[in-house]
């Protein structure tokens, strides 16, 4: 049971962006360097985050990426879903609709468990914001 490196790297990158919010766009090369992530790989992660609307990008010489919303408004759940898709500890217990595939459907006791676990994970990731992961930063009212 693991989250992929996409999530680990992606979350770290988002925290990095949160720390320099709202000071204009940050070039990827800078994040790649400070977080020690492959530049090309990070590019792909940012593409997913951009498509999800979590970050905005600016091209050109002083371009880069920046959060579209304040760190306190962005949940870790949003980040993880953008990077890994819906939370689903089991095929039969995905957040998004029905990945029908198991014929047990209605009365599978295990399914009930997996759904319960899924909801619990969702509750945790949705209750944590990027601001919570930026210790020392007093972004909120001083």
Partner DNA sequence: TAAAATCCCTACTGAATTACTGGGAATTAC
Partner DNA sequence: GTAATTCCCAGTAATTCAGTAGGGATTTTA
Q: Which residues bind a second copy (CB under 8 A)?
A: 1-4, 7-8, 11-12, 15, 76, 80, 84, 87-91, 107-110, 112-114, 116-117, 120-121, 124-125, 128, 132-135
Binding mask 41-80 for DNA (x = CB under 7 A): x-xx-xx--x------xxxxxxxxx---------------
Antiparallel, parallel or unpaired: β 55-58 and 64-67: antiparallel
Which one of DNA, a second copy, none interacts with residue 44, CB within 5 to 8 A by kind? DNA
Q: Which is nearer to DNA, 27 or 75 (CB)?
A: 27
Structure tokens at 36: 């020690």
Inter-residue contact 74 to 129 (CB < 8 Å): yes
Report the C-alpha gap between 93 and 32 in whole angstroms.
35
Which helix (H) or strand (E) segment holds residue 42: the answer is: helix 39-51
């Amino acid at each position: 049971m693991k989250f992929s490196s996409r999530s680990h790297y992606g979350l770290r990158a988002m925290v990095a962006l949160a720390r320099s919010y709202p000071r204009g766009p940050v070039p990827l090369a800078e994040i790649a360097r400070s977080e020690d992530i492959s530049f090309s790989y990070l590019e792909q992660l940012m593409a997913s985050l951009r498509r999800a609307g979590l970050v905005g990008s600016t091209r050109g010489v002083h371009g880069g990426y920046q959060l579209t919303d304040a760190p306190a408004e962005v949940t870790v759940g949003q980040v993880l879903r953008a990077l890994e898709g819906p939370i689903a500890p089991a095929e039969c217990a995905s957040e998004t609709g029905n990945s029908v595939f198991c014929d047990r459907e209605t009365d599978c006791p295990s399914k009930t468990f997996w759904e319960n676990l899924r909801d619990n994970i969702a509750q945790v990731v949705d209750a944590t914001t990027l601001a919570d992961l930026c210790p020392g930063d007093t972004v909120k009212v001083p």
